[in-house]
Amino acid sequence: MSSEDLRPKVYSVFGAVNQRVPIGTLIILLLLFAIWNGLSRFGIVPDYVLASPASFMESLSEAIRSGELFGHMIASLQRVFVGFTIAMFVAVPTGVLMGWSPSVGRTLNPIVEALRPVSSFAYVPIGMMIFGLGFTLNAFVVYIASFFPILINTIQGVRGTEKRILEFAKLQGARPKSMLFKVALPSALPSILTGLRVGMGIAWMSIIATEMIGAKSGLGFLIYNSAWQLEMGLILVGVMAIAVIGLALNRLFLLIERKALSWRDHLVAG
């Protein structure tokens, strides 16, 4: 493509997506592994506090073979998916409305500001009364946790639409509906997507905590239950699975941002 050739050298706004792991990070990871190995090999930390690499590997292969790990992963992911999706479909339109209409914003803002600092776990007792233990309770807590980051970022994105761009659109003859859907929304999209990514991060953190009290499955339940069973290797397996999935989810959202906002990627060098 000739238009490709004309493009100046570009720097990605989302460098994090395609960056390789720096060599220093790998060295630190190896070092940590060596310390972990040393601690258990020389009996400095007993096996019932921190599993040795060997017993970790044993638990890992057992958890994979039995399908136990996979089952818990799916359970957690399903709850997060449902809670997060509902939060997205409620918070984005609400945020757009609050950001676009000053009167709606003024009316709802005090309520949002009052509820926002309340930890989503504060809703667990109420949720338990309403939904009982299980899927709905967990999805409900995820919903609460991811709702506010999505809402706040959407409001800010819509409100932050440059005056200059709104005036340009108006002079081009934009109809009122288009001012919102063709100007303010695309302009707010970067902020909305950031809100979704942050919301997903918080959703993933909260599901683990909720499952410790409010579920009989899921990765949160797995690590909590393993502690009671003194299965130290399995705790580490759970923690590792939580980290890997958290990382993957974050990458997935960064990738979506990069695809959706490719126009921002064409920053001229220098």
Question: Of residues 187, 201, 240, 254, which one binds other proteins by CB under 8 A?
Answer: 187
Could you give the CA distance from residue 169 to residue 32 in angstroms, rounded to a whole number? 55
Per CB under 8 A, 159 contacts other proteins: no
Per CB under 8 A, 184 contacts other proteins: no
Judged on CB neighbours under 10 Å (0-12, 13-18, 19+), 161 is buried
Q: Which pair of structure tokens corresponds to residue 242?
A: 């939580």
Question: Of residues 39, 71, 136, 264, which one binds other proteins by CB under 8 A?
Answer: 264
Residue that the structure tokens 């809703």 belong to: 123
Per CB under 8 A, 182 contacts other proteins: yes
Q: How far is the CB of 173 from other proteins (least distance, A)?
A: 4
Per CB under 8 A, 176 contacts other proteins: no
Per CB under 8 A, 268 contacts other proteins: yes
Per CB under 8 A, 183 contacts other proteins: yes
The secondary element (H helix, E strand) that includes residue 130 is: helix 124-131
Q: x/- string (CB under 8 A) for other proteins, residues 208-247?
A: ----------------------------------------
Per CB under 8 A, 65 contacts other proteins: no
C-beta closer to other proteins: residue 5 or 229: 5
C-beta closer to other proteins: residue 1 or 49: 1
Per CB under 8 A, 181 contacts other proteins: no
**SS3 state at 10:** strand
Question: Of residues 42, 48, 228, 263, which one binds other proteins by CB under 8 A?
Answer: 263
Per CB under 8 A, 267 contacts other proteins: yes
Comparing CA positions, the residue from 225, 250, 246, 245 lying closest to residue 235 is 225
Per CB under 8 A, 9 contacts other proteins: no
Could you give the CA distance from residue 111 to residue 113 in angstroms, rounded to a whole number? 5
Per CB under 8 A, 116 contacts other proteins: no
Question: Of residues 55, 85, 136, 178, which one binds other proteins by CB under 8 A?
Answer: 178
Total residues binding other proteins (CB under 8 A)? 27
Provide the binding-site residues for other proteins, judged by CB under 8 A. 3, 6-8, 164-165, 167-175, 178, 182-183, 186-187, 189, 261, 263-264, 266-268
